């Protein structure tokens, strides 16, 4: 079967050779994958037919390893029609928060360079202005800092420094620790902490300390122009098709590198990242995160409004899109505005990656039902 067709037979062979599944169970596993493939094709086909997406790439892991990949539909219809392929590169939107920023923060915790309990102002003194002196690093990670959701885009500003100056002037809307407010400002601030502690901007730090070690060759904040044919465009903004440039308006104004958005990646790269997390921070012979940090990062924090979050990661919140219910207790993940998501269940070593460019071409797509249906299907598959 050709790679573009999606069913990952090689992963099944690898699993057999590694002892992941038994020879006796190989035929059953193959049949199950065939059933899964038919279900995934049906679900994606339905969503395409309803006009909610143009196409999608899906990746599924079992027992901590990728066992299935599928690409269906189109990745672009303007300026020309292009088919969706397994190597399509997507604007991850808020998956940036966990793949880059949270992972980097926890590496600094592992190294003893950053304390989650410390005020963020310890590392960025002027962040403490305007009543923010007591906001901790952990409160930024759990979205309980009291800061609002985003910077004011009605103001005329551009550049990273301008964004940071606006954050310095921000006042909390609530007492730190009292309310859950999903906030991009929190993660822009965390990226600045990383830069101040390491002397390296988030894109360079994550490339050296995360992506290169995991061999994530298609994961970057500014994807190379040579990869443009593989990149899924989003929508037209001010007459310009966003193609290889971040869609998020705040990250775009900041130059494409921000703690909350700006990262691009593929299903295979995200699969390797998920495998690392399910292996308690290890990839091959390389440790990316300590097992203690993985556990701490994904531990359930009960917040206001019956919201459950980890450090950076979602557990059960208005942003879970039903994936929390499908995969059950102990699962965690994150979603992205552009139509991306990653959800993991450590108990079964399962992960589900859904990548769409639901904003292409007119910004009107919707992936809520796609996420719900695929989550239920994969959760049933791994039972």
Beta pairing partners, 231 = 89
| Euclidean distance between CA atoms 308 and 319, whole angstroms | 11
Q: Is residue 120 very low, low, confident or very high in pLDDT (cuts 50, 70, 90)?
A: very high
Average pLDDT over residues 108-127: 98
pLDDT tens digit string along 77-114?
Answer: 999 999 999 999 999 999 999 999 999 999 999 999 99
pLDDT tens digit string along 257-308?
Answer: 999 999 999 999 999 999 999 999 999 999 999 999 999 999 999 998 899 9
pLDDT at 62: 93
3-state secondary structure the chain: CCHHHCCCHHHHHHHHHHCCCCCCCHHHHHHHHHHHHHHHHHHHHHHHHCCCCCEEEEEEEECCEEEEEEEEEEEECCCCCEECCCCCEEECHHHHHHHHHHHHHHHHHHCCCCCCCCEHHHCCHHHHCCCCCCCEHHHHHCCCCCCCCCCCCCCCCCCHHHHHHHHHHCCCCCCCCCCCCCCHHHHHHHHHHHHHHHCCCHHHHHHHHHHHHHCCCCCECCCCHHHHHHECCCCEECCEECCCCCCCHHHHHCCCCCCCCCCEECHHHHHHHHHHHHCCCEECCEECCCHHHHHHHCCCEEEHHHEEECCCCEEECCCCCCHHHHHCCCCEEEEECCCEEEEEECCCCEEEEEECCCCCCCCCCCCHHHHHHHHHHHHHHCC
pLDDT at 383: 79
Taking every pair of Cα atoms in the chain, the longest distance, rounded to a whole number of angstroms, is 65
pLDDT more than 70, % of the chain = 92
* pLDDT tops 90 at residue 141: yes
End-to-end CA distance of the chain: 27
Return all residues near 324 (Cβ < 8 A) that are at least 6 apart. 308, 314, 315, 316, 317, 331, 333, 343
pLDDT at 153: 92
| Model-wide pTM > 0.85 | yes
Q: Is residue 356 very low, low, confident or very high in pLDDT (cuts 50, 70, 90)?
A: very high
* pLDDT tops 90 at residue 2: no
User: What does DSSP say about strands 332-336 and 65-76: parallel, antiparallel, or unpaired?
Assistant: unpaired
Beta pairing partners, 342 = 334, 353
CA torsion angle for 110, 116, 119, 124 (degrees, to 10)? 40
* pLDDT tops 80 at residue 17: no
Sign of CA dihedral 149, 93, 70, 29: negative
pLDDT more than 90, % of the chain = 89
Cβ atoms 75, 88 nearer than 8 A: yes
| Euclidean distance between CA atoms 183 and 174, whole angstroms | 13
Average pLDDT over residues 352-373: 97
Average pLDDT over residues 328-341: 97
pLDDT tens digit string along 204-243?
Answer: 999 999 999 999 999 999 999 999 999 999 999 988 999 9
* pLDDT tops 80 at residue 1: no
| Euclidean distance between CA atoms 13 and 7, whole angstroms | 12
Neighbour order of strands in the sheet with 350-355? 82-83, 65-76, 55-62, 350-355, 340-345, 332-336, 314-316, 307-309, 301-303
| Euclidean distance between CA atoms 175 and 172, whole angstroms | 7
* pLDDT tops 80 at residue 117: yes
pLDDT at 155: 87
Altogether, the residues listed in the chain come to a count of 383
pLDDT at 29: 64
Q: How far is CA 317 from CA 18, 32, 82, in A?
A: 37, 31, 35
Of the candidates 32, 56, 31, 35, the one whose C-alpha atom is nearest the C-alpha of residue 46 is: 56
Average pLDDT, the chain: 92
Please give the domain boundaries of the chain with CATH numbers for all domains. Answer: 3-95+215-381 (3.40.710.10), 101-198 (1.20.58)
């Amino acid at each position: 079967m050709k790679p573009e067709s999606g069913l990952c037979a090689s992963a099944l062979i690898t699993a057999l050779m590694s002892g992941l599944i038994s020879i006796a169970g190989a035929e059953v596993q193959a049949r199950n994958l065939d059933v899964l493939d038919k279900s995934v094709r049906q679900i994606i086909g339905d969503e395409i037919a309803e006009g909610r997406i143009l196409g999608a790439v899906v990746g599924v892991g079992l027992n901590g390893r990728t066992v299935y990949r599928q690409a269906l539909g189109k990745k672009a219809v303007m300026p020309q029609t292009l088919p969706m392929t397994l190597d399509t590169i997507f604007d991850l939107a808020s998956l940036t928060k966990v793949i880059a920023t949270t992972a980097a923060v926890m590496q600094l915790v592992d190294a003893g360079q950053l304390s989650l309990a410390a005020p963020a102002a310890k590392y960025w003194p002027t962040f403490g202005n305007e009543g923010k002196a007591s906001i901790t690093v952990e409160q930024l990670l759990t979205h309980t800092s009291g800061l609002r959701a985003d910077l004011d885009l009605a103001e005329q500003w551009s550049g990273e420094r301008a964004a940071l100056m606006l954050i310095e002037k921000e006042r909390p809307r609530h007492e730190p620790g009292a309310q859950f407010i999903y906030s991009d400002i929190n993660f822009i601030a965390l990226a600045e902490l990383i830069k101040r502690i390491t002397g390296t901007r988030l894109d360079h730090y994550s490339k050296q300390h995360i992506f290169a070690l995991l061999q994530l060759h298609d994961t970057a904040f500014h994807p190379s122009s040579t990869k443009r044919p593989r990149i899924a465009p989003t929508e037209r903004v001010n007459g310009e098709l966003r193609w290889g440039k971040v869609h998020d308006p705040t990250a775009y104004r900041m130059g494409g590198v921000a703690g909350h958005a700006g990262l691009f990646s593929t299903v295979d790269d995200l699969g390797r990242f998920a495998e690392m997390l399910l292996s308690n921070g290890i990839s091959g012979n390389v440790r990316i995160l300590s097992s203690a940090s993985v556990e701490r990062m994904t531990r359930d924090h009960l917040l206001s409004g019956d919201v459950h979050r980890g450090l950076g990661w979602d557990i059960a919140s208005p942003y879970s899109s039903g994936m929390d219910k499908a995969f059950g207790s102990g699962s965690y993940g994150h979603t992205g505005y552009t139509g991306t998501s990653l959800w993991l269940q450590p108990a079964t070593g399962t992960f589900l990656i859904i990548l769409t460019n639901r904003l292409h071409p007119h910004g009107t797509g919707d992936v809520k039902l796609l996420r719900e249906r695929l989550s239920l299907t994969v959760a049933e598959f791994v039972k």
